[in-house]
């Protein structure tokens, strides 16, 4: 199975903001934040269709999200998951004595996961707590 490595950053999108205010337990929040934006070049390297599910893995955890083509690109080698519980499954937890986890600049590998599902924010957190 093809795997690629990218540098992951997180942050706000307007869809993340609107869906967050509309209710984090709702499907729209999952559709806005349970995604990874990848450059077209990286999607081609991964050998997947756009809008199919992938597993993102880092030294700090793993999560299944939907891979979409970058809406604010091009940025080859850079992955983008909007801020939220999906991103926070894999970001670098180190604060280096500042209090601030390293939300930007986490190396992650991405592999196709078409048969796995993207969970809602509540299910994602509660299921992971049981593990």
Pairing of β 4-11 and β 78-82: parallel
d(CA 94, CA 111): 24
Nearer to other proteins, 10 or 53 (CB): 10
Shortest reach from residue 78's CB to other proteins, in Å: 6
Q: Identify the DSSP state of 99.
A: T
Nearer to other proteins, 53 or 121 (CB): 121
Where on the chain is the footprint of other proteins (CB under 8 A)? 7, 9-14, 16-18, 20-25, 60-61, 70, 72-75, 78, 80, 83-85, 88-89, 91, 93, 95-105, 121-122, 124-126, 128-129
Shortest reach from residue 114's CB to other proteins, in Å: 24
By the 8 A CB rule, do 115 and 55 touch? Answer: no
Torsion of CA 11, 15, 18, 24, to 10 degrees: -70
């Amino acid at each position: 199975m093809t795997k690629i490595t990218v540098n992951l950053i997180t942050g706000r999108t307007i869809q993340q903001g609107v869906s967050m205010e509309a209710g984090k337990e709702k499907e729209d929040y999952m559709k806005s934040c349970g995604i990874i934006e990848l450059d077209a070049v990286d999607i081609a390297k991964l050998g997947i269709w756009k809008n199919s599910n992938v597993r993102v893995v880092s030294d700090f955890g793993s999560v299944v999200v939907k891979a979409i083509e970058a809406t604010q690109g091009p940025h080859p080698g850079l992955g983008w998951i909007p801020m939220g519980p999906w991103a926070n499954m894999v970001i670098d937890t180190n604060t280096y004595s500042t209090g601030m986890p390293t939300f930007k600049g986490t190396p992650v590998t991405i592999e196709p996961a078409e048969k796995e599902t993207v969970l809602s924010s509540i299910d994602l957190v509660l299921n992971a707590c049981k593990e």
